[in-house]
Structure 1
């Protein structure tokens, strides 16, 4: 039995309205709870995020080492190029253009408030030819 139930990912930011719009567009989500200093959204598969007003919020500096990552989100997509165009159109920006070697293709971005997130496309595993 779980000790706690899954909660909500909450990002502190200076402008929760702006950040909620970005993630609503990214996730196809709808607002589920709104107050003066917090906006919560819920995606079509039940994923929830909230954006809490912090007038002193300092964006992470990733990939630079000062102020580090703090936290970041990973999202899985089918088409990295299409997703990147949509993210830029919503106000996000690339922070790492190279695709690292390994079993995943991924690209780093930041949302309009500077929070880091990664788009990842899992490659189909390749196995040796049999027979």
Structure 2
């Protein structure tokens, strides 16, 4: 029997409202601000994401492990085909994502980006059953 259920993945950021809007555009849902420092996003068919104001946040330098090491990243289903992945890529860029690693993405089945606050995330090609 589990000890606890996962409630949220919380991302520290300088502007929780802006980052919640970014992820709402990427994954769906409507941001629900609780106050100026905390916003919750209930992602359809996914985990709840929360965004917490952290002034002076220094984002990780992907893929470096020696300075501001990445502590986690989020994986998103970018589609089952390369056409769907390309469309997801374009939409992510339009929302404000910054590519970190697109090299050999066809061999790796994923592409790495930074969100507007600098957190790494991936769009993954997922074969749907």
* Unpaired stretches in structure 2, ≥5 consecutive residues: none
* SS of residue in 1 equivalent to 2:12: strand
* SS of residue in 2 equivalent to 1:117: strand
Q: TM-score, normalised by structure 2?
A: 0.86
Q: CA RMSD in A?
A: 1.8
Aligned match of 1:105 in 102, 106, 109? Answer: 109
The alignment covers a number of residue pairs equal to: 123
Aligned match of 1:87 in 83, 92, 96? Answer: 92
Q: Highest Rg: 1 or 2?
A: 1
Q: TM-score, normalised by structure 1?
A: 0.85
Distance in 1, Cα, partners of 2:97 & 2:29: 17
* Unpaired stretches in structure 1, ≥5 consecutive residues: 125-131
Task: Give per-residue Cα distances to partners, 1:64-120, cap 9 Å, x unaligned.
Answer: 342121211111121211111000100111100113576x51100010000000111
